[in-house]
């Protein structure tokens, strides 16, 4: 019975090729065995020698041949084939390893992705489609399995990049005695329904976006600070250096109609009498001063109020044109003359023309 106890590894690649291997160094350390097989089920079997051997240190360790039926018989013999060392009969359909999924497609709708592939021509009921995925923040794969050949999954974050891979699995024990799965289909990378070359592109794009946003915010912040400083500077400048009114706006006709000729401007009838009223913080003092002038009292304490302007030229005018500009002011400390006019002024006032 030891001939049936030797461990062998049997793989039927999609029911197309058979691969049978054995541990030649442990089982047959001093002999290079030969391998024979047949798919005949009758008594008169025709044994076929192996034409493609797998080698381990120049010793035969396996055989690769074409799958030609559901029932397989194998026989290992000594180097010249005269003595049988091991034999076994098996069902080749119970050792099928499926091929990779073909024509894999991804369909995205919002946070749901549906993966599908071509349906195999044979034994599709024995196959399951396995989907694995993970984002760049996951360390392990998330796995989902469904009937061949479509599977859907929800809950994908459109802001994350995901890696996907799929394969076909053979059902155990209903269809296989060994849990064989196909090799993984090539890994793909997706983000919000868009196929990427890798998830590194997502990281790079996010880094560029962060840099651009940071620079934009910094520029806006600097502009805001400069605007605030400018407004502050305008307020400080206005408080330290107040604007001096331009006299040409007060005497527009003097400069526009008479080109600054004061005598000509004074001769006009429209400017015969020009009264200027000065407003003080304490107008009561002006009224009190006038009453003192009328009574003639306290002459030593209160200086007499005088007219600011006396127009000598106006008195000599033969046409009787005269102009008199009078203004009551506090006690003056100095007198100024301009074009024949006498101006009394104190220390805290100025005259605009």
Model confidence pLDDT, tens digit, residues 65-81: 999 999 999 998 988 88
- Assign residue 88 the CATH number of its domain: 2.60.40.10
pLDDT tens, residue by residue, 270-316: 544 444 444 444 444 445 545 554 555 444 444 444 443 343 443 44
Question: 124: cis peptide before it, omega within 30°?
Answer: no
Nearest-angstrom CA–CA distance, 193 and 188? 12
In a domain, 119, yes or no: yes
- Report yes or no: 91 and 63 within 8 Å, Cβ to Cβ: no
In a domain, 281, yes or no: no
Helix locations, the chain, DSSP H: 24-27, 200-240, 247-250, 252-256, 262-267, 284-295, 312-315
In a domain, 262, yes or no: no
In a domain, 135, yes or no: yes
Q: Is the pTM of this model over 0.75?
A: no
In a domain, 66, yes or no: yes
Nearest-angstrom CA–CA distance, 225 and 47? 93
Claim to verify: residue 75 and residue 114 sit in the same structural domain: no
Average pLDDT of the residues in 7-19 = 92
Q: What percent of the chain has pLDDT over 90?
A: 28
pLDDT tens, residue by residue, 33-57: 899 999 988 778 899 999 999 998 8
Averaged confidence pLDDT in the chain: 75
Average pLDDT of the residues in 250-264 = 69
Last residue of a domain, one of 80, 97, 114: 97
The pair phi, psi for residue 225, each rounded to 5°, is -65, -45
In a domain, 54, yes or no: yes
Claim to verify: residue 146 and residue 163 sit in the same structural domain: yes
In a domain, 245, yes or no: no
Question: What residues make up the domain containing 129?
Answer: 105-196
Nearest-angstrom CA–CA distance, 133 and 112? 13
What is the per-residue pLDDT for 252?
67
In a domain, 286, yes or no: no
């Amino acid at each position: 019975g030891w001939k049936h106890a030797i461990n062998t590894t049997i793989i039927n690649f999609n029911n197309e090729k058979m691969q049978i291997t054995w541990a030649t160094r442990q089982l047959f350390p001093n002999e290079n065995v030969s391998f024979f097989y047949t798919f005949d089920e009758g008594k008169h079997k025709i044994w076929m020698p192996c034409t493609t051997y797998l080698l381990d240190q120049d010793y035969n360790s396996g055989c690769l041949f074409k799958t030609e039926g559901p029932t397989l018989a194998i026989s290992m013999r000594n180097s010249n084939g005269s003595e049988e060392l091991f034999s076994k009969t098996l069902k080749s359909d119970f050792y099928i390893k499926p091929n990779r999924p073909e024509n894999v497609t991804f369909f995205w709708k919002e946070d749901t992705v549906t993966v599908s592939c071509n349906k195999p021509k044979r034994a599709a009921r024995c196959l399951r489609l396995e989907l694995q995925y993970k984002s760049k923040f996951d360390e392990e794969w998330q796995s989902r399995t469904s009937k061949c050949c479509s599977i859907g999954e929800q809950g994908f974050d459109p802001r994350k990049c995901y890696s996907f891979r799929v394969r076909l699995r053979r059902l155990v024990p209903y269809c296989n005695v060994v849990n064989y799965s196909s090799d993984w289909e090539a890994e793909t990378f997706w983000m919000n329904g868009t196929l990427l070359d890798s998830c590194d592109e997502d990281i790079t794009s996010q880094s560029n976006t962060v840099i651009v946003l940071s620079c934009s915010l910094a520029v806006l912040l600097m502009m805001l600070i400069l605007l605030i400083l400018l407004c502050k500077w305008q307020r400080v400048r206005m408080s330290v250096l107040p604007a001096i009114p331009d006299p040409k706006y007060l005497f527009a006709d003097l400069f526009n109609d008479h080109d600054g000729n004061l005598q000509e401007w004074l001769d006009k009838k429209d400017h015969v009498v020009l009264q200027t009223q000065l407003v003080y913080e304490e107008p009561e003092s002006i009224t009190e001063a006038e009453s003192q002038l009328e009574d003639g009292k306290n002459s030593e304490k209160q200086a007499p109020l005088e007219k600011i302007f006396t127009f000598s030229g106006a008195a000599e005018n033969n046409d009787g044109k005269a102009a008199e500009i009078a203004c009551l002011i506090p006690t003056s400390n100095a007198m100024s003359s301009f074009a024949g006019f006498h101006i009394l002024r104190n220390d805290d006032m100025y005259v605009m023309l």
